[in-house]
Each structure stands twice: as structure tokens, then as C-alpha cells.
Amino acid sequence: SYKPLQVFERHCFYNKGLDSPHLGERMATSWGAAFFMLVTSCVCSTIFHRDQQTWFEGVFLSSMCPINVSTSTLYGIMFDAGSTGTRIHVYTFVQKIAGQLPVLEGEIFDSVKPGLSAFVDQPKQGAETVQELLEVAKDSIPRSHWKRTPVVLKATAGLRLLPEQKAQALLFEVKEIFKKSPFLVPDDSVSIMDGSYEGILAWITVNFLTGQLHGHSQETVGTLDLGGASTQITFLPQFQKTLEQTPRGYLTSFEMFNRTYKLYTYSYLGFGLKAARLATLGALETEGTEGHTFRSACLPRWLEAEWIFGGVKYQYGGIQEGEVGFEPCYAEVLRVVRGKLHQPDEIQRSSFYAFSYYYDRAVDTHMIDYEKGGILKVEDFERKAKEVCDNLENFTSGSPFLCMDLSYITALLKDGFGFADSTVLQLTKKVNNIETGWALGATFHLLQSLGISH
């Protein structure tokens, strides 16, 4: 049976000694993080969602008994189980002044590929990858704090796409691994998170860490997240027309410091980068595809290869006859997104932060720096897609899907969401040295719900 090759990646961030030459920057970052946590805790206590449910219901813990922690250092472990990999975030918080909220002191991040969904028929092997990442937490957290440090795993689109029974089998094995660990394991510590929560938490994280929500400014940035199996868009509408013309399921309201924010947010399952590859190849219906080769004008003619996604092996390659290049490729990916996504007019005049595969593909094609990120316009993705796709025979890349991926990103932004060519995108991997995404906000609320951070 197939056992996926595991690939690891690690980085860490810590605020160290007071003699650091970056003390001023660090203090600003810590203040910003503390402010972010304070408001996030206020947000989580007052947010409401459609159907009169709190939007974080089922995401965060709600019924755990408070735990008294006598030391000033707190830890939280958050697993992000995505479609292409599993990530662990180990956060360190310090309660510098009694009675005040703790300050984010550091983050250790590690990851393993592929994701849990690749082990769809081998749940125990999938859980072993989580066990390996747990060793990172044991190495990072003092033994004296293990029993009071909560560990939580939230699975995203990769497991949402699996049959319910198979997804639950994977989660059961992960829970068994957690139970054997020395950490605090709440009853609801392993679950599948609704995609809309990813978008909301990412928007809050980015706008707080960039200072956009400090004070009374309404100048916020939108967020675009492109995963392997799903994609999210979130922004704060500025015009009443947007609110009136947007379908009800796309709006979520919450209140912070006597201010009400009504976010436009939606998660499109099946529109992540790798799911879009399958859709482009026409391989979403996998039954009876064994021995069949899926072909595309987005691939070099000479290519004959196999690709594994979600635990399924696909044969694919270039077309033998007909045109290849950007135009025929774009026509293929356009069928995946045309008419499938809601298009709010307002986003054409807004600025957005984009991360995950938007960032990765921009790095792969040298449009931005890996460490620093960069600023691009939507039209830059189309320009690069044309450059890559129209030179397929000469292009030597580590990914034969690069033409398809860039074309899909272009079609998703322009024809899917309806962005203008001139829309500005801030491509970022980290904000103030903290990974973008939902994990930080989820971890802080986890500590709050357990009574650990009071």
C-alpha cells in the first residue's frame, strides 16, 4: 500500500534578551500582539453569526473548567491539518503584569507533508505524522508546563472533502495520539473546522497585527487565502450597496469595543489550488479512472507523469495534438471558475493581503522575495502566466503544473472573484514575524476558554 513521503519544515521566532538591537521593534510587536489578543478576546465574547449562533461555536472550546496557573509563562499548541500538510504552532505567552493579558513572546512552527487526507485508508499512519510533530512541542515546552498546556487540532478542507466515515477515522486516531501525550487534551480537541472560520480569523489576525483595527479607522485590508482544497475571501465592506446586494450567507457581523463590523467572508470548497487542478483535468470523478491519463493544454506535450492528491493516484500528461500555451490553458481553467463565485463590485477598489499558494507561486516565479514577500497587481499574475505557458517546451521548473497554477490563480482572481487588473495584492507569509492564518487567534481564545490566560 502507498505510504506518502514525509517532508518537514521548521522555523521559530522568539523575543529574546532586553539587550536585543531590535528591542524597539520587538516591544512594538509585543504591544501589537497584546492588543490583538485583548480585542480578540472581546470579539469572541460578543460575535454573532447567521442563524443566531456564535460564529466560533464548534470551533473553540466552551465547557472546560478553569485551570489555575501559577507561573508567568503560558504555552498553547495548535495543529492546522490542511489538505497538503499538517502544521504545528507552539506559542509562548508571558504574563508580565498580574491582572493584565499576556504578551505573545514567541512562536515555533513546524510542518510535515503530505496532509492527513493522504492517509485516507491508513489512519494510524496519518496519526503518526501528528505524533512526530508533537515531539517538537515536547522539545519546545518545559516538562513542568506539559500538563497545563492545551493541544488542539483543527482540520480544514482536506478532510472536509473526504467521506464522513473516513475523515472521522483519521480524527479518532489523532485523538488517541493526543490522549497518550503529556499535554492537556480537552474533549473537543480534534475536529473539522468550517471554512468560513478560517477567513474570519485570518482577517482579524492580519488587521490587528498590521494595526489596521487600532483606534476608530475603517481602513482595513481584505484577506485572500488559497489552500490546496479550498479558498477564502474576507473583507470589510464600505458601501451600503455591497451589504444590500450580497447574499445572506456571505455576511458575518461581530462587535468590538462598541463597534459593529459586518464582514463579507466565504469559503469555496473545491476551489483550492490542487482541487482546481483535478477539476481542470476533469478528474474530480475518480471512479473508473484507473489506467486513464488526464491531459491538458496547460502541460508540456512530452509530459507523462503521475500525481497523488488526497490519497488518490492520477495519471496525467500533455496533449498530443492541438494547441498548448496560455490561451488554450486559460480556456480550460476558466471552465472551473466561470459563474461559480460571487462577485462583489467593491473589491475592485480595495487592497488585499494574499497568502498560502498565492504567495508560494509568486515566489516560485521570482515575482516576490521568499523572505520579504512583496506587492503585486492582479495583472502581474496574468503576465507571468503568459510567460510560463507560452514557453512550456523550454521551461524547466520543479512543478509541471506551474502554467496551470498561474492560469488558475489569474482566472480565480479576475473571472472568479471579479478583481480588476489593477487591484493591489500584498503577498505575505508572516506579519510582524507571526505566521498569517487563523492559528494565533484560535490559540489565544483556547487559553481564554480554559481560564489559563486570566
Q: What residues form the annotated binding site?
A: 228-232
CA distance 53 to 114: 34
Contact of 152 with 442, CB cutoff 8 Å: yes
**What's the burial of 405, exposed, middle or buried (CB within 10 Å: 0-12/13-18/19+)?**
buried
DSSP secondary structure letter of residue 194: P
Kind plus residue range of the DSSP H or E element containing 135: helix 123-140
Q: What residues form the annotated binding site for ATP?
A: 228-232
- Residue 289 dihedral angles phi and psi, to the nearest 5°: -95, 0
Q: What cell does 286 get?
A: 475518480
Residues known to be catalytic = 198
Contact of 267 with 224, CB cutoff 8 Å: no
Longest Cα–Cα distance in the chain: 72
Peptide bond into 123 cis (omega under 30): no
Sign of CA dihedral 433, 435, 438, 440: negative
SS3 10: strand
Residue with cell 522568539: 14
